[in-house]
């Protein structure tokens, strides 16, 4: 039975990736050993790590001025590692608050050093993306969150600035073309759009590092991990392998250009139904709507149990809204086929036909 998986995270992975990953748990690379029981320093695994790092650079179209590492601890650890590695003792960092994850990043940065929130959409419950704010020219960096996973907004155009740009791309990495060279540091927890939980990708410009004047703890120092080829300590070997397979799947099918087009089709299909259907409405400002996490409510909340029955019968899973927003959230990550969105749209039409 096919389940249409709209989970917000960990999110859907390509079926063939799941199958290959399962096989690697039993017999990796024809070694007759599981990937889970070999050294991360074995030749076979070193190749995985190297490819997993290089494929990120290839998809982002950047050169050797950047390094890619994979770490444990989730994107949440990066909320602390970013200021720890980039925020100088006497300097300050600028943050834009676009939601729950940005707020958590700000909380950690404030513990490390001088942190200013230069724009926020908290006044309207994070239902839009702030624009046109002034960026201090003397800040050590500007931190953005490209996609607001919980409230369903997305930065469509990144601000222009001369200070280093840092971005949490956890929930829309490799979903669309971005000019990666405009960023000094990009990070993402793998489990939304590029792999399973357990690995976090960090891509950083080498020349952005080593400037804080801080005495660094080894495990929290990007330079230590770079020097160790992302194997300073035992890396999350299996999540990195599954991430590599997912990135290879993306490349094989046509890369960023292909997925961007498909993701736009999926988002258009669903938003169009939300706008046409008399029983639903979207929760965020139209121009800032996320192509990854589509949040919507029904204007007859008393009928929610009826709609729930319809979509559950259609083998749809994971569209319950976040507890802060309520209603519904459909996550349209890369591995979700257009066909699944069509099934969801059909259930919305059926609901309207029966109850409007
Ligand atoms: C899920 C998410 C996080 C947190 O990721 P963890 O890996 O659970 O720490 C951070 N930022 C964004 C944008 C997210 O969607």
Which CATH number is 303's domain given?
3.90.1150.10
- Separation of CA 191 and ligand 1 centre (Å): 8
In this prediction, residues 193-202 reach a mean pLDDT of 98
Q: Is 282 in the pocket of ligand 1 (CB under 6 A)?
A: no
Q: Is 293 in the pocket of ligand 1 (CB under 6 A)?
A: no
Residue 348 per-residue DSSP state: H
State the total domains in the chain.
2
Same domain, yes or no: 196 and 317: no
**Which of 11, 106, 170, 175 for a ligand 1 pocket mutation test, highest count of atoms within 8 Å of Cβ?**
170
Half-sphere exposure for 170 (CA within 13 Å, toward CB):
28
Single out the residue in 190, 219, 252 at which a domain terminates.
252
CA distances (Å), origin 239, targets 9, 27, 155, 244, 251 = 14, 16, 28, 9, 18
Same domain, yes or no: 207 and 293: no
How open is the CA angle 77-243-108, to the nearest 5 degrees? 10
Which range marks the domain in which residue 297 is found?
255-355
**Which of 10, 99, 101, 166 for a ligand 1 pocket mutation test, highest count of atoms within 8 Å of Cβ?**
101
The conformational region for residue 9 under phi > 0 = left, psi -120 to 50 = alpha, else beta, is left
Same domain, yes or no: 119 and 74: yes
The model scores a pTM over 0.75:
yes
Residue holding tokens 């993701």?
263
pLDDT tens-digit series, residues 214-262: 999 999 999 999 999 999 999 999 999 999 999 999 999 999 999 999 9
pLDDT tens-digit series, residues 346-355: 999 999 999 9
Q: How many CB atoms lie within 10 A of CB 137?
A: 8
Same domain, yes or no: 188 and 227: yes
Single out the residue in 222, 252, 282 at which a domain terminates.
252
pLDDT at 204: 98
Same domain, yes or no: 267 and 235: no
pLDDT tens-digit series, residues 99-112: 999 999 999 999 99
Q: Are 11 and 334 spatial neighbours (Cβ–Cβ below 8 Å)?
A: no
Q: Which of 167, 190, 158 is nearest to 69 (CA)?
A: 190
What Rg value do the Cα atoms of the chain yield, rounded?
21
Averaged confidence pLDDT in the chain: 97
Please report whether residue 9 resides in a domain. Answer: no
Nearest CA to ligand 1 atom 3: 75
**Predicted confidence (pLDDT) at residue 323 exceeds the cutoff of 90:** no
Q: Which of 262, 267, 289 is nearest to 344 (CA)?
A: 267
Please report whether residue 7 resides in a domain. Answer: no
Same domain, yes or no: 154 and 243: yes
Q: What's the per-residue H, E or C state across 2-24?
A: CCEECCCCCCCCCHHHHHHHHHH
Single out the residue in 223, 252, 281 at which a domain terminates.
252
Q: What's the per-residue H, E or C state across 239-263?
A: HHHHHHHHHHHHHHCCHHHHHHHHH
Same domain, yes or no: 304 and 340: yes
Please report whether residue 205 resides in a domain. Answer: yes
**Predicted confidence (pLDDT) at residue 1 exceeds the cutoff of 90:** no
Q: What is the CATH number of the domain that holds 206?
A: 3.40.640.10
Q: Are 224 and 22 spatial neighbours (Cβ–Cβ below 8 Å)?
A: no
- Separation of CA 182 and ligand 1 centre (Å): 22
């Amino acid at each position: 039975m096919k389940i249409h998986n709209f989970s917000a995270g960990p999110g859907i992975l390509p079926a063939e990736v799941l199958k290959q990953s399962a096989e690697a748990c039993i017999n990796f690379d024809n070694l007759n050993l599981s990937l889970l029981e070999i050294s991360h320093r074995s030749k076979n695994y070193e190749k995985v790590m190297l490819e997993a790092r290089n494929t990120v650079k290839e998809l982002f179209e950047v050169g050797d001025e950047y390094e890619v590492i994979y770490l444990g601890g989730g994107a949440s650890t990066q909320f602390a590692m970013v200021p720890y590695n980039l925020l100088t003792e006497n300097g300050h960092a600028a943050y834009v608050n676009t939601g729950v994850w940005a707020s958590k990043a700000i909380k950690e940065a404030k513990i490390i050093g001088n942190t200013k929130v230069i724009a926020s959409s908290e006044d309207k419950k994070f239902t839009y993306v702030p624009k046109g704010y002034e960026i201090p020219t003397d800040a050590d960096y500007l931190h953005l969150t490209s996609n607001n996973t919980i409230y369903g907004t997305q930065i469509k155009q990144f601000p222009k600035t001369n200070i280093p740009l840092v971005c949490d791309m956890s929930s829309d990495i490799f979903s669309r073309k971005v000019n990666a060279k405009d960023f000094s540091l990009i990070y993402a927890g793998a489990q939304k759009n590029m792999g399973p939980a357990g690995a976090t990708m960090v891509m950083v410009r080498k020349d952005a590092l080593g400037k804080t004047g801080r005495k660094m703890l080894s495990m929290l120092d990007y330079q230590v991990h770079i020097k160790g080829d992302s194997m300073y300590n035992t890396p999350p070997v299996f999540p990195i392998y599954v991430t590599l397979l997912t990135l290879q799947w993306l490349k094989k099918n046509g890369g960023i250009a292909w997925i961007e087009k498909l993701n736009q089709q999926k988002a258009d299909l669903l938003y169009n139904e939300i706008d046409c259907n008399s029983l639903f409405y979207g929760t965020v400002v139209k121009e800032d709507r996320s192509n990854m996490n589509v949040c919507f409510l029904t204007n007859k909340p008393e009928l929610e149990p009826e709609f729930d029955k319809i979509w559950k019968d259609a083998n749809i899973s994971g569209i319950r809204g976040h507890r802060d927003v309520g209603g519904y959230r459909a996550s349209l990550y890369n591995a979700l086929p257009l066909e699944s969105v069509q099934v969801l749209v059909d259930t919305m039409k059926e609901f309207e036909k029966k109850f409007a």
